[in-house]
A and B are shown apart, each in its own frame.
Chain A
Amino acid sequence: MIRRVLAATRLVLLVQARGYFPHTFALFVGMVVGVLLFVVPEGIAQLILPVFLVTEPGMLGLMAVAAHRYLELGSASVSALHVSPLRSGEYLVALLSASALLGTAAGVVTFAAVAGVDGRLVGLTLVLFAFAFLSGLLGFALSLRYPDFPRFLLGSIPAMVVWQLPLLAAFDLAPAAVVVWLPSAAGILALAELCRGDLSLPATAGWVLAGGAWAGAAFVLVQRLYARRLRSGWELA
């Protein structure tokens, strides 16, 4: 199983590289870092950094997963995967991991450029990856609802807004109790605390566990939805 997941992850990464996915991420990171370093005053840059850390692995990752899925649906290449020994759950793990890797790399580079390199990077990487994986799951689940990427972009706006609501609590604009029930809350609040530099190792582990638990539960749900969709025959050539 691990061999197949690794092979599929490499395949997804290569397809995304040829499809200029990393270039898109790099462009976005370059713009964000440029604005934070040269346009926004230094104190403000550190303050609003969590917004960009949520956007890069979260929103970009979510869109990368969906874009990859629509790319494969368009060429019907995904059909060939599903008549190979690769299971639908393994494919899902590979797709989400590859996109999460891109998002995590983007977040780490942004953080290092703005806040510097320190011990927080380890915790940050873990939290970013878990958050990106979970956001990718949302992107995948939403893409099951829409037949093409433009309709996905339009249709997923409300979900994206709700997904980022915990940022209000991160900036003390809303009580944490209001948003903590959202699956994205653990990741967003952890990223905000990491940026402020007051997240301890046990706290980081707690946030990662909470995010991981949400990701695990969501994965089982999305994988079932996807398997049901595959069995119906709509998905494949």
Chain B
Amino acid sequence: MIVSVRELAYRYPGATESVLRDLDFEIAEGEVFGFLGPNGSGKSTTQKLLTRILRGHQGRISVFGQDLETQGVAYHERIGVCFEIPNLYEKLTARENLDFYRRFYAGPCDPPEALLAELDLPEADRRPVGHYSKGMKMRVVLARSLVNRPKLWFLDEPTSGQDPEHAVRIRDLVRARADAGSTVFLTTHDMHLADTLCDRVGFLVDGRIASVGSPRELKLAHARRTVRVELRRGENLESQSFELDEPASKAAFLELLRSERVETIHTQEPSLEDVFLEVTGRRLLG
């Protein structure tokens, strides 16, 4: 396991309540692990602890097979962090932002030009990033997080502010990096992104993991085997639902297929959002 978290608890200095309580999860090498939860559930705090921005947790965090507390500069040589906000030097160009950042690393780094091109940012752009759109700034942040070829890559809402084309491009980039061996810790509200990108997701509510599994496993585990049929009756389009685990309903469905003109048939798996709601009793957004 690249990341192993056991009984993790954390309370901010001066706070009366813990943000995280007995958190347990593991992430395998090359896995894209999605960390999903509503605002205030402890997602960012977990990421800050894993990236060592925050210290002073209880429980055990092991990364790269070593206790996080005992790791020094070498740990930051091996991780990349893409923040949720465009925390760039606004008066520097994108290339300068990446170029200065990579000088902090002793290990091999990717050239800024290649990373910027990969994220559809023209490297010849001489404008300071303060003049960029939010989407462009976020792509610079993403590119910066890749300069040191991270083995463990933390992504916080990586598609935030992106148009659909760039969101797909980022999703493909993350998948490609994971396929090449990087491990990805993804924090997001975007259920579609989590569903299409993550190998496994963990639902975090009130500082605890409520459920962990692959999106498909979770959806199947909470699915009702139901089909929804639209059929044409004269000028009217009608729809009916059938429970396939109920013999009478199943028989009615088969009879309908034989006797009526069926326009569409849809299985009714729950979305990841539905599963989240069912497991946690909470909506992801809001």
Contact = CB atoms under 8 A, between A and B. Distances in A.
Contacts of A11: 89, 100, 103
Contacts of B89: 11, 15, 18, 75, 77
B24 interface: no
Nearest to B103: A7
A154 interface: no
A76 B83 contact: yes
B145 to A, nearest CB: 9
B96 to A, nearest CB: 7
Given A14-B92, A18-B92, A79 B87 contact: yes
Interface stretch (A82-90, A118-126, A141-149): A82-90
Interface string B38-51: 00000000001001
B105 A233 contact: no
B104 A7 contact: yes
Contacts of B103: 3-4, 7, 10-11
Contacts of A15: 89, 91-92
A80 interface: yes
A81 B79 CA distance: 13
A46 B8 CA distance: 65
B53 interface: yes
B77 A85 contact: yes
A206 interface: no
Contacts of B12: 232-233
A236 interface: yes
B86 to A, nearest CB: 8
Interface of B: prevailing SS: loop
A152 B22 CA distance: 40
Contacts of B88: 75, 77, 80
Interface in B79-119: 79, 81, 83-85, 87-92, 96, 100-101, 103-106
Given A19-B91, A76-B83, A83 B53 contact: yes
Given A75-B88, A83-B76, A84-B104, A237 B83 contact: yes
A160 B211 CA distance: 56
Interface string A221-237: 00000000011110011
In this complex, which of A19, A75, A82 has the most chain B Cβ atoms within 10 angstroms of its Cβ?
Answer: A75
A233 B54 CA distance: 5
A212 B92 CA distance: 34
Interface residues of B, number: 33
Interface in B174-230: none
A121 B267 CA distance: 84
B151 interface: no
Interface string B154-165: 000000000000
B13 A82 contact: no
A233 B141 CA distance: 20
B100 A236 contact: no
Interface in A1-57: 3-4, 7-8, 10-11, 14-15, 18-19
Given A18-B91, A77-B87, A79-B87, A84 B101 contact: yes
B54 A231 contact: yes
A4 B106 CA distance: 9
B128 interface: yes
A86 to B, nearest CB: 5
A232 B83 CA distance: 18
B52 interface: yes
A14 B104 contact: no
Contacts of A237: 83-85, 87
Given A76-B83, A237-B85, A84 B13 contact: no
25 contacts: A7-B103, A10-B103, A11-B89, A11-B103, A15-B91, A18-B89, A18-B128, A75-B88, A75-B90, A76-B85, A77-B88, A80-B141, A83-B53, A84-B76, A84-B104, A84-B105, A86-B104, A87-B73, A231-B54, A231-B55, A232-B13, A233-B13, A233-B53, A236-B48, A237-B84
Interface of A: 3-4, 7-8, 10-11, 14-15, 18-19, 75-87, 230-233, 236-237
Given A15-B91, A75-B88, A83-B52, 17 more contacts: A3-B106, A4-B104, A10-B103, A11-B103, A18-B92, A76-B83, A76-B85, A79-B53, A79-B83, A80-B87, A83-B79, A84-B76, A84-B101, A84-B104, A231-B55, A236-B53, A237-B85
